[in-house]
Structure 1
């Protein structure tokens, strides 16, 4: 009896996907990072053998989880921006999309924003994602004629927004969700003025 190769490949992809899902929960745990190969395998319900068919070690796994979450964030923002009519709607949709991603799924938010600060395997990874987020914000500041000013404001906004969301996730910013959204929109509005 021969084994159907596509079926094996499909199961391998399913196991990898399950490990990444579990990785978000482990890396984004409220108590801090609790990622180990054993913990990931236990949570995913697989043996270590299957872990190693997708990842060479724990650090590779952590980086893959972070890359997956970073791509989710980028895709959510790009989708929000493409659905908008006009700069005001674009900014609001982008902020709301990020809020939904980060606050409705706090583990995702903690992976994206806190894990690079506390997980050695991610040293510098947050800096790698920053340019794509800065570029998205910079595109929304098109009313500014000076490209250097647009770049400076976009970089400052991404830093400010990142700090606000980190504060919200770690409890140092204790306002309602809607107040946070309004404040973020106000920052974007102010940055857009000449």
Structure 2
């Protein structure tokens, strides 16, 4: 038996309502749907209780699935945690790319658009901030996994926002130093803001980060 998300006890088997929902779908489609359910449950648990609350049992209960369906998609709890993180990273990276593409061509406009879409994304669902910010710093597994990914996102955002000719002239070691510093500053600002420690609007926060990023770029261009 297991506890369904609505408080009812389940048998560990697929419910008749689930069978109705899956009727007419292929085995692969059903597997993808179950994987999506587990990812959604994993995000909710990570966002509410942190990495320590993420267990196979908790996730399958929240998803309303039996443990055998968990192992259909994930090797273990760690694999799910990384998959949840990667899904959120891919989502925000796509939003950033789209925001830059639609913004004016100057650096400040592109960085502002990218940061604002991140802030709105975090505001829309607070669990995202817990996963991408708090747990990425607190949980050893996620910290190791995200060690290069977040700086890569900052680097990609900056490169996409800078004039290609100017970007080509920058020295790799200077880029690495600046991006590493900016990544730490930006992540910490969003972390404190998302936690309510910095009581300002998203627009105000973004303008502050734009100033930091612009100063970093100016330093790069002077080297």
Shorter-chain TM-score above 0.5: yes
Residue 70 of structure 1 aligns with which residue? Answer: 89
Distance 2:78 2:102 in 1: 36
Counterpart of 1:91 in structure 2 is 111
- The whole-number CA distance in structure 2 between the counterparts of 1:53 and 1:188 is 43
Q: Which range moved further: 131-140 or 154-163?
A: 131-140
Contact in 2 for aligned 1:137/1:158 (Cα 8 Å)? no
> Separation in 2 of the partners of 1:109 and 1:160?
16
Query: Residues 150-189 of structure 1 correspond to what in structure 2 (within 5 A)?
Result: 150-189=175-214
In structure 1, runs of 5+ residues without a counterpart are none
Q: Does 1:38 align with 2:57?
A: yes
Q: CA deviation at 1:96?
A: 0.9
Q: CA deviation at 1:106?
A: 1.4
Residue 50 of structure 2 aligns to a residue whose secondary structure is coil
3-state DSSP class of the match of 2:198? coil
Match of 1:108 among 121, 125, 128: 128
Report the secondary structure of 2:26's partner residue.
Answer: helix
Moved more, 142-151 or 111-120: 142-151
Match of 2:14 in 1: none
Matched, 1:18 2:43: no
Instruction: Determine if the alignment matches structure 1 residue 133 to structure 2 residue 132.
Output: no
Structure 2 CA distance for aligned equivalents of residues 27 and 69 of structure 1: 12
Structure 2 length-normalised TM: 0.76
Count the aligned residue pairs.
190
Equivalent-residue separation in structure 2 for 1:26 and 1:111 (angstroms): 10
Q: Which runs of 5+ in 2 are unaligned?
A: 1-22
* Structure whose alpha-carbon radius of gyration is higher: 2
**CA shift in 2, pair 1:156/1:121, >3 Å:** closer
Deviations 1:50-89 (A, max 9, x none): 1111011111111111111111122121221222221232
Which residue of 138, 141, 144 maps to 1:124? 144
CA RMSD of aligned residues (A): 2.2
Distance in 1 (alpha carbons) for counterparts of 2:188 and 2:151? 16
Output the CA distance in 2 between the equivalents of 1:191 and 1:185: 10
Contact 1:24 1:111 in 2 (8 A): yes
